Structure 1
Amino acid sequence: MIRLGLDIGGTKIEAVAMNAHNDIVYQKRIFTPTESYEVFLNAIVTLIKTVKVEVTQSLSIGIGLPGAISPETGKIKNCNCLILNGKDLKADLSFAVHQPIYIANDADCFTLSEAMDGAGANHPTVFGVIMGTGCGGGITVNGQLLSGPNAIAGEWGHNTLPQYSVESDGPPQPCYCGKDNCIERYISGTGFTKRYHQRYGSRLKNSDELQAIHIIKKKRMGEESAVEHYNHFVDMCARSLASIINILDPHAIVLGGGLSNIDELYEDIPKLLNQYVFSDVCNTKIMKAKFGDSSGVRGACWLPEMHKVYESKQQQE
C-alpha cells in the first residue's frame, strides 16, 4: 500500500505519496483555499482523487495541520487556517473519499517523521521542536506519538520562558494566546527577529537586516550586537529545553524550522544545558532534522502506520 500524506499550511497544501521503502513516488502542491470551508474541503477531496488516479494503488491517508482535534468535540481547534476551526474535517473527508483519515498536529507529524526514519530514529523517546514562525513541539515514545486528554502534548511554546527576568530578558513580550512571555515570543524565528529590532532597531539601515539569516551573518562577522543577541538566544534555548529534559528526559531532541539551520546551535546549546538540567551531566542529544521542511508531510504519511501499531497493541492487551 502507498502512504499518502498531506501537509496543510496557511498558504500551500503539499501531498506526498511514499512506498514501502519510504521513497517518494508522487508529489504535488496546491494553494490553500481560504474562501470557505466548503471550497477547502472540495480542494482536498479533488487532490486525494488526483493522487489515486496518478498512483493507481490503494492509499492510506494521513494529514498534518497547524491545529488539533478537540477530544471533546472531534472538531478542529487552535488552527491558524481559521476556516477549519470548529469543523469535523476528519469525518467529512472520510465520508467524501470512502476511507479512514488520520489527522495530527503538524509539529506531531514533524516529530513522528524524525522519530521513524529521521534524525531521531533508534531513539526510544524523541522531543521534536519547530522553531519557525511559531514554536511547536511533539513527543514520541517508542515510535508512538504521545497524546493526552487535552490534545496539547508538546505545546512547550506556550509555557512561560524559564527564569524570565526583565533585567536579563528585556520587557514583557505579549503573546497572541493572551499571556505574557511565552517561550514562542523569544526563541521562534519571529521572536528572534522581533526582539533584535526592539533592542537594536535604531542601528539598522534596512529591513533586510531584520531577517534571521542576516542577523546570523552579522554574528559570524563578529558584529557586537548580533553576537550579543545570538548568545542570549542560545541561553534562552538552553533554559527552555532544560525544562523539557527535567520533565520528559528524552533521548533525543530534534530541531526543525528556519532557525534549526543555524549550525552553531548544535554545539552551543549543549554547552549551556548542564547549567539548567537537574543532573550532574546531560546526555540528551540535540540534533538537526534529517528531512528539514519535508518532515511534516512525511510524518503525515506515517500516521496510519502508527495508528495500526497502536490498535494492534491495544487488541493484544
Structure 2
Amino acid sequence: MSTTPAVICLDLGGSFVKLGVMDAQQQLTILDQQKIPADSWPDFTALVSRMIQQHQLHFSTDSPLAISTAGIVAPDSGEMFASNIPAFHQRNLSQALGELLQRKVIVHNDADCFTLAEAQAGVGKGHKVVFGAIIGSGVGGGLVADGRIITGQNGLTGEWGHGPITLTEVDIEGETIRLPRQPCPCGQKGCLDSYGGARGLENLHRTLHDVNASSLDIIAGWQQQEVQANRTIQVWLQLVSQPLAYTINITGASLVAVGGGLASVTALMEALNEEVQRYVLRSTQHPLVVPGAFAHNGGMIGAALLARQVA
C-alpha cells in the first residue's frame, strides 16, 4: 500500500463536483461542493483546478487525484463514455487532467468505487465476493472479488439493470399481472432499469394504476398499507428480486451492498432481502442484501482506496 499521506478525491455527477481528501488513516473529509459545468471542458477543468488550489493545504504536491464518476471508463484507452456530462465525454479524463494538474489521476466508475469501499471498509468487509447494487434514480452495479474491482469488457461489469430480462408478468396473491416491456435509454427494451430504480418505481405505479406519484409518496403509502402503493411495491419486489438473485448465483457474491436513494429505506431493503433469499440457489442465515455503510460518499472512498492500490 502506498505511503502517500493523503489522496485527493473527486466525485463527478451530472449536477455537482464534490471534493474531499482521504488521510493516511483512511478517513475522508469533504472539503467543497460546486455545481458542475457539465457542457464545457475549459470551464470544468478551470473549476477542478480552482477547487484543488483553494484547498491545497490539505494535501501535498505529489498527492494523487482519485475520481469517482458517472459513466464508463474504457479499460484499454481510458476514454470516458459519459453522455450526461459532455464536458469530458469521449475524452481520456485521467490523462488530460493529469497533464493539466501535474499529478497522478485515477478515474473509475462510481458504482465500482462504491462496491470497493463497501468490500474493503464497509458492510462487505471480510467477504470474498461482494456485489454492489445501486438502486437510485436508475439501476447499476459493481463487482469486487478478493478486494479488487472486476472490470470487464469495455469497462462494463455488474450492469444488472440492463438487458431484456424483466418479467412480463408477476403473480400477486393468485392474480396474474401482465406488464409491458418498456423502452430503455440504453437502446434496449425490457431492461430492469425501466421499473427498478426510483424513476422506474414511479413508472411502474403509473403503469399499474394510471396514477402519477413520486417514489417517496409510493413508499410512504406502502408503509401505511395504502392499497395501490402496496400493490406497486409487491410487484416491484418481484421484478427486482429475481434478477438480483440471478446475479448472486452467477457471481457467487456472499453479500450485496445496496447504494442509491432507495437503499435508505430500511423496510424496503429488508423486504427485498427476504424476496431474494427465496430465489437464490442457497439462502443464508445472515442477510444477503443490506444497505451500504457509505451511502453518501462511497464513490469517493472507493476511488481513494483504488488509488492506494495502484500507486
2:21/2:58 contact within 8 Å kept:
no
Alignment of 1:123 onto 2:123: no
Instruction: Choose from 226, 239, 242 the match for 1:223.
Output: 226
Moved more, 123-132 or 290-299: 290-299
Q: Which residue of 2 aligns with 1:157?
A: 161
In structure 2, how many angstroms separate the alpha carbons of the residues matched to 1:144 and 1:119?
16
In structure 1, how many angstroms separate the alpha carbons of the residues matched to 2:117 and 2:205?
32
Identity within the alignment, % = 26
Alignment of 1:260 onto 2:263: yes
Tell me the number of residue pairs that the alignment of Structure 1 and Structure 2 aligns.
301
Residue type of the partner of 2:194? R
Moved more, 241-250 or 53-62: 53-62
1:45/1:93 contact within 8 Å kept:
no
Alignment of 1:185 onto 2:194: yes
Q: Secondary structure at the match of 1:123?
A: coil
In structure 2, how many angstroms separate the alpha carbons of the residues matched to 1:263 and 1:7?
25
Q: Which residue of 1 aligns with 2:173?
A: none
Encode CA deviations 1:227-264: one digit per residue, 9 max, x unaligned: 11111111122101111012101011001111111212
Q: Which residue of 1 aligns with 2:177?
A: 168
In structure 1, how many angstroms separate the alpha carbons of the residues matched to 2:71 and 2:293?
23
Higher helix share: 1
Question: Closer, same or farther in 2 for the Cα pair 1:220/1:64, shift >3 Å?
Answer: same
Alignment of 1:299 onto 2:308: no
Q: Which residue of 2 aligns with 1:269?
A: 272
Instruction: Choose from 136, 147, 152 the match for 2:151.
Output: 147
Q: Secondary structure at the match of 1:126?
A: strand
Query: Aligned ranges for residues 50-65 of structure 1 at < 5 Å?
Result: 50-55=54-59, 58-65=62-69
2:37/2:87 contact within 8 Å kept:
no
Q: Which residue of 2 aligns with 1:200?
A: 209
The RMSD of aligned alpha carbons is 2.0
Residue type of the partner of 1:187? G
Shift of 1:169: 4.7
Q: Which residue of 1 aligns with 2:53?
A: 49
Q: Which residue of 2 aligns with 1:245?
A: 248
Question: Closer, same or farther in 2 for the Cα pair 1:186/1:169, shift >3 Å?
Answer: farther
Question: Closer, same or farther in 2 for the Cα pair 1:42/1:261, shift >3 Å?
Answer: same
TM-score, normalisation: structure 1: 0.88
In structure 2, how many angstroms separate the alpha carbons of the residues matched to 1:78 and 1:243?
28
1:64/1:104 contact within 8 Å kept:
yes
Shift of 1:162: 4.5
In structure 1, how many angstroms separate the alpha carbons of the residues matched to 2:214 and 2:225?
17
Flag as ranges the 4+ runs of structure 1 deviating above 6 A. Answer: none
Alignment of 1:233 onto 2:233: no
In structure 1, how many angstroms separate the alpha carbons of the residues matched to 2:302 and 2:83?
18
Shift of 1:164: 3.4
In structure 2, how many angstroms separate the alpha carbons of the residues matched to 1:149 and 1:177?
17
Shift of 1:103: 0.5
TM-score, normalisation: structure 2: 0.90
Shift of 1:145: 0.5
Shift of 1:163: 4.0
